[in-house]
Amino acid sequence: MADQLSRRGVASARLLMDEASLDTLQNVAAAARAARAEGAPLVVACSDAYHLPRIRLLLTVLGVRSRAGPQPGSRGDAGHRVAMALREAVAIPYDLVLAAMHRRRLLS
């Protein structure tokens, strides 16, 4: 994603790279902490189109405004896209409950 954003003219200094998170919730929590530390009024979330709704919902639960940024072109065949949609259908409510229950810890 960083390479795609750089090719689109986004300065590397504006990108927050998270190499430590193991899942979406950890990644979003890291972004929320960084946004708060920097006083950023808005996070531009960049990911696959199927993944952006979960990212943006989690940012909202953690008190961070966001907007969707550039997205890569469609990857995979129709079967892959269906599988990812099904995964998100389960992951969205699961992560939202975790984020709401552990908000304070995630932001510290």
Q: What is the pLDDT of residues 2-39, one digit of tens each?
A: 888 888 888 888 888 888 999 999 999 999 999 999 99
Residue 95 CB coordination number (10 Å): 20
The mean pLDDT of 34-63, rounded to a whole number, is 94
How many Å is the Cα radius of gyration of the chain?
14
* Integer CA distances (angstroms), 4 to 7, 39, 77, 83, in order: 5, 26, 21, 24
Q: Looking at the chain, how many residues does it have?
A: 108
Mean pLDDT of the residues in the chain: 91
pLDDT band at 74 (very low <50, low <70, confident <90, very high): low
Q: Is 41 helix (H, G, I), strand (E, B) or coil?
A: coil
CB 62 within 8 A of CB 104: no
**What pTM value is reported for the model?**
0.89
